[in-house]
Amino acid sequence: MILPHFVGRDNTVIGIAPERAAARGWPVPSGCHARSGEGLLIAVLAVLVVFVAGCGSEPTAMATIIPPSPSPTTELLAVALPTPTEEPTRIPDPSLEVPPTVTPEPTPTPLVYMVAAGDTLIAIALRYGVTLGGLQQANPGLQPELLQIGQRVTIPEGGADRQAGQSAPATATPAPLRLDVMHLGLHETPAGGLWVLGEVHNATTRSAGNVQLLVGLEDLEGTLVVSRTVWLALDLVFPGGSAPFAALFDSVTVSDPQVSVQIVGAESSGRDELWHPAIEVMEHQGSESGHLYRVTGAVQNRGAENARDVEVLVTLYDAAGRVAGFRFQALCSDLAADATMPFDVVLSPAGLQVAGYSVTAVGKRNPN
């Protein structure tokens, strides 16, 4: 039996144990160390040559074994397509938004009045139906006592020329109060000036406060020549009560002047609680003393609480009922409940014979 073996290039036998090769007379590779029971197998990668030999004969055949090529396979590539996603919702950035175009409203052209002879600031305010404060605010630095003919005065927005037929409030401070101006008197002074005296009567059921008047002198054609702004002698006029006023004109340039009086400011007062309701004039009497007139009497606190800042107002009238003079006099700073305080007031009438007088007493509540 011939065992499979391989013959090397030097005719040595490979693949059989050396001791067996020597027993058969085959060449044994040099440098080999014989190991019992072991074989050596050498694999050739590309070509395998097999020799089959008979006893003492040359190799008769050589076969080349070519390993079969692997069958080509088709490799399928899986291509991952992107998963469609929804369009993200766009959130506007306010900083990137373009603001809408705003068309500015046209600015009204201011109304300008040219000061004429005899004008006063309060008269201009009345003419255009604006407040005196609003007129001064629209004309910073304007000094009422230094008005010049031809001076330009800006009328605040909302003012209207009543002489042009436009509507305008009759007073600078609208007040739904019935206040009547009465008992007007015009009296000359020794220096050539004029006193205009009168009083305002409150015919309503509410107290009237901060009553302001425009007293003017007009010529025979009804044109206002000069005017003064004055306040009543009392801060508050109770329902059914009256309070006097006075306006002095140092010099008069018009002959036979006519007096005009307008109430330009008044408000329905909410300050009644500040005033003591029970201060009364208990007894009084008046008499002439030379060219003076004297009124004496007493004031009593009929309330249950003390009163402070008690004052008395005396007004004189001539035979025609016109106001001939008045005087306001403080009595005491504190009047206890049910206490009485006397008064003595001396007045200088405006060159007229006094035919009568009135006395009004007022006081305030003590703060809590």
The tens digit of pLDDT for each residue in 291-340 reads 899 999 999 999 999 999 999 999 999 999 999 999 999 999 999 999 99
**How large is the average pLDDT for residues 276-296?**
93
**How large is the average pLDDT for residues 201-219?**
89
- Residue 59: pLDDT above 80? no
- Residue 60: pLDDT above 50? no
200 and 179 Cβ atoms separated by less than 8 Å: yes
Q: Going by C-beta distance under 8 Å and a sequence separation of 6 or more, which residues neighbour residue 133?
A: none
CATH number of 275-365: 2.60.40.10
Does the fold of domain 275-365 match that of domain 111-164?
A: no
- Residue 65: pLDDT above 50? no
C-alpha 225/C-alpha 193 separation (Å) is 14
For the chain, domain boundaries: 1-67, 111-164, 179-271, 275-365
Residue with more model confidence, 244 or 350: 244
pLDDT tens column, 116-142:
766 777 778 777 878 877 888 888 888
Q: What is the mean pLDDT of the chain?
A: 74
C-alpha 281/C-alpha 283 separation (Å) is 6
pLDDT of residue 222: 84
CB atoms within 10 A of CB 236: 19
Longest dimension (CA), the chain: 191
Q: Which of 2.70.210.12, 3.30.450.40, 3.40.640.10, 3.10.350.10 is the CATH number of 111-164? A: 3.10.350.10
pLDDT of residue 64: 44
Residue with more model confidence, 19 or 188: 188
What percent of the chain has pLDDT above 70? 62
pLDDT of residue 332: 93
The pTM is what? 0.55
CATH 2.60.40.10 for the 179-271 domain, yes or no: yes
